[in-house]
Amino acid sequence: MTTVSTPTNMEPASSSDISPEAYEMIRRIMKDSRGFILDSYKDKCIKRRVAIRVRATHSASAEAYADLLLKDGDEVDRLLKVLTIHVSQFFRNPPTFDKLRTQIFPFLFTLPGINGNEELSIWSVGCASGEEPYTLALILKHFFPEELEKLKVTILATDVDAGILDVARVGLYGEDRLMEVPEPLRQEYFVQRDGKFQLASEIRTLVEFRQADLADSETFPDCDLIVCRNVLIYFERQQQETILNGFADRLRPGGILVLGKSETLVGETRRRFQTVCPVERIYRVV
Interacting residues of 262 by C-beta distance below 8 A, sequence separation 6+ = 230, 233
Q: How far apart are CA 105 and CA 35, in angstroms?
A: 35
Q: Which pLDDT does position 236 carry in this prediction?
A: 83
Task: Using the predicted structure, report yes or no on whether residue 233 has a pLDDT greater than 60.
Answer: yes
Task: Using the predicted structure, report yes or no on whether residue 9 has a pLDDT greater than 50.
Answer: no
Per residue in 239-270, pLDDT (tens digit) is 899 999 999 999 999 999 999 998 999 999 99
The DSSP element (H or E) to which 285 belongs, if any, is strand 282-285
Mean pLDDT of 163-181: 94
Query: Which domains are present in the chain?
Result: 15-83 (no CATH), 94-285 (3.40.50.150)
Give residue 43's pLDDT band: very low, low, confident or very high (50, 70, 90): confident
% pLDDT > 70, the chain:
92
Give residue 7's pLDDT band: very low, low, confident or very high (50, 70, 90): very low
Q: Are 190 and 200 in contact (CB under 8 A)?
A: yes
Per residue in 54-80, pLDDT (tens digit) is 988 999 999 999 999 999 999 998 888
Question: Taking CA 239 as the corner, what is the angle to CA 236 and CA 242, rounded to the nearest 5 degrees?
Answer: 155
Average confidence score pLDDT of the chain: 89
Q: Tell me the angle at which helices 73-83 and 20-34 cross, rounded to the nearest 10 degrees.
A: 100
Q: Which pLDDT does position 139 carry in this prediction?
A: 98
Q: Are 220 and 249 in contact (CB under 8 A)?
A: yes
